[in-house]
Amino acid sequence: KGTYSGSLKLNFKIQLRKPVLKSVKKSGSTDENLTGKKATGATGYEIYRTSGNSWKKIASVNSTSYTDKKLEKGALYKYKIRAYKKCKRQKKQYSEYSPQKSVKR
């Protein structure tokens, strides 16, 4: 009861949805074609690959399609992607990583 007034200030972080890595297919004798589903609001994507224990960023692209070239035959490669959005002062905000996909050359 009575008259009330005031204000409330909240800070929150809007998280990007994680992209989906749809397929990893062989292309030619040493190439892999990756395709994915876009994440709403993303300005770019980072693609990661491993053939052992450590992940390495292999590309930053504006679309969810990429061709990884000159791979070794007989090796098992795993891929994952994550989306990013450029925010104020060129800082990047990242999504979670997509589930990984693997392919044996």
pLDDT digits (tens, 9 = 90+) for 58-93: 999 999 899 999 888 888 999 999 999 988 777 888
pLDDT at 85: 92
Contacts of 101 (CB under 8 A, 6+ apart): 21, 23, 24, 34, 78, 79, 80
Per residue in 23-56, pLDDT tens?
Answer: 999 888 889 999 999 998 899 999 999 988 899 9
CA triplet 18, 58, 95: central angle to 5 degrees?
Answer: 15
Cross-strand partners of 85: 93
Which three-class secondary structure state does DSSP give residue 98? coil
pLDDT at 1: 67
CA triplet 102, 39, 10: central angle to 5 degrees?
Answer: 130
